[in-house]
Amino acid sequence: MDKIVVLDFGSQYSHLICRRIREFSVYAELVPFDISLEELKKLNPKGIIFSGGPASVYNNDSPKPKTGIFDIGLPVLGICYGHQLIVNNFGGKVKRANKEYGSSSLTVDNDSDLLFGMGKSIRAWMSHGDAAEKIPDGFDIIGHTESSHAAAIANKQKLIYGIQFHPEVVHTEKGTEILRNFVINICRAKQDWTIENFIETTVTEISKIDGNVLCGISGGVDSTVTALLIQKAIGNRLKCVFVDNGLLRLNEGQEVETMFKNNFAVNFTHINAKERFLERLKGITDPEQKRKIVGEEFVQIFTEFAEKNGPFKWLAQGTLYPDVIESGVSKGPASVIKTHHNVGGLPSWFNMQVLEPLRFLYKDEVRKVARALGVSDKLLNRHPFPGPGLAVRIIGEVTEKKLQICKIASKIVEDELVAANLNDKVWQAYAAVGDDKAVGVVGDERKYGHIVTVRVVDSIDGMTADWTRLPANILEKISNRITNEVEDAVWVSYVISSKPPATIEPQ
CATH number at residue 91: 3.40.50.880
Q: Edge to edge, what strands does the sheet with 213-217 contain? A: 268-272, 238-244, 213-217, 314-316, 353-355
Q: From the centroid of its chain, how far is CA 275?
A: 31
Least confident of 65-79, 104-118, 392-406, 453-467: 453-467
208/181 same-domain check: no
Nearest to 305 by CA among 387, 370, 242: 242
152/289 same-domain check: no
- Partners of 134 in beta bridges: 93
270/337 same-domain check: yes
What is the rounded distance in angstroms from the CA atom of residue 147 to the CA atom of residue 73?
Answer: 32
Residue 410 identity (one-letter amino acid): S
pLDDT of residue 332: 43
Least confident of 59-68, 90-99, 135-144, 290-299: 90-99
269/287 same-domain check: yes
- Residue 387 located in a structural domain: no
What residues make up the domain containing 64? 3-186
Estimate the crossing angle of helix 363-372 against helix 195-206, to 10 degrees: 80
Residue 10 pLDDT > 70: yes
Nearest to 299 by CA among 262, 254, 245: 245
138/231 same-domain check: no
Q: Encode pLDDT of 434-491 as tens digits.
A: 999 999 887 667 889 999 999 999 998 777 889 999 999 999 999 999 999 999 999 9
199/180 same-domain check: no
Mean pLDDT of 42-67: 91
CA quadruple 153, 156, 157, 161: dihedral sign: positive
Question: Residues 342, 348, 349, CA angle at the centre, nearest 5°?
Answer: 105
Nearest to 20 by CA among 160, 175, 232: 175
Mean pLDDT of 248-277: 90
- Residue 414 located in a structural domain: yes
Side-chain-side CA neighbours of 445 within 13 Å: the count stands at: 4
Between residues 443 and 263, which one has the greater pLDDT? 263
pLDDT of residue 447: 85
Mean pLDDT of 368-385: 87
Cβ atoms 175, 135 nearer than 8 A = no
Nearest to 344 by CA among 314, 299, 305, 313: 299
What is the rounded distance in angstroms from the CA atom of residue 45 to the CA atom of residue 75?
Answer: 10
pLDDT of residue 326: 58
Cβ atoms 238, 213 nearer than 8 A = yes
What is the rounded distance in angstroms from the CA atom of residue 47 to the CA atom of residue 72?
Answer: 10
Mean pLDDT of 15-38: 92
pLDDT of residue 329: 43
Q: Encode pLDDT of 328-337 as tens digits.
A: 544 444 434 3
pLDDT of residue 219: 81
230/134 same-domain check: no
Question: Residues 364, 366, 367, CA angle at the centre, nearest 5°?
Answer: 65
- Partners of 194 in beta bridges: none
Reported confidence tier of residue 229, pLDDT bands at 50, 70, 90: very high
Active-site annotation, residues: 80, 166, 168
137/232 same-domain check: no
Residue 376 pLDDT > 50: yes
362/234 same-domain check: yes
201/335 same-domain check: yes
Mean pLDDT of 219-244: 93
Cβ atoms 125, 169 nearer than 8 A = yes
- Residue 354 located in a structural domain: yes
- Residue 388 located in a structural domain: no
Check which CATH number belongs to the domain holding 460 and give it: 3.30.300.10
Residue 414 pLDDT > 80: yes
pTM for the full model?
Answer: 0.72
- Partners of 353 in beta bridges: 314
Nearest to 254 by CA among 274, 235, 236: 274
Tell me how crowded residue 308 is: count the other CB atoms within 10 A of its CB: 7
18/132 same-domain check: yes
The four Cα atoms 172, 178, 183, 185 give a dihedral, to 10 degrees, of: 170
pLDDT of residue 444: 67
Residue 338 pLDDT > 80: no
332/439 same-domain check: no
What is the rounded distance in angstroms from the CA atom of residue 420 to the CA atom of residue 87?
Answer: 53
Nearest to 220 by CA among 166, 256, 179, 196: 256
Estimate the crossing angle of helix 400-419 against helix 472-485, to 10 degrees: 140
Mean pLDDT of 317-338: 59
Residue 96 identity (one-letter amino acid): R
How many domains does the chain divide into?
Answer: 3
Mean pLDDT, rounded, of the chain: 89
Nearest to 49 by CA among 329, 59, 26: 26
Nearest to 428 by CA among 461, 404, 403: 461
Q: Which H or E run contains 135? A: none
Mean pLDDT of 402-423: 96
- Residue 502 located in a structural domain: no
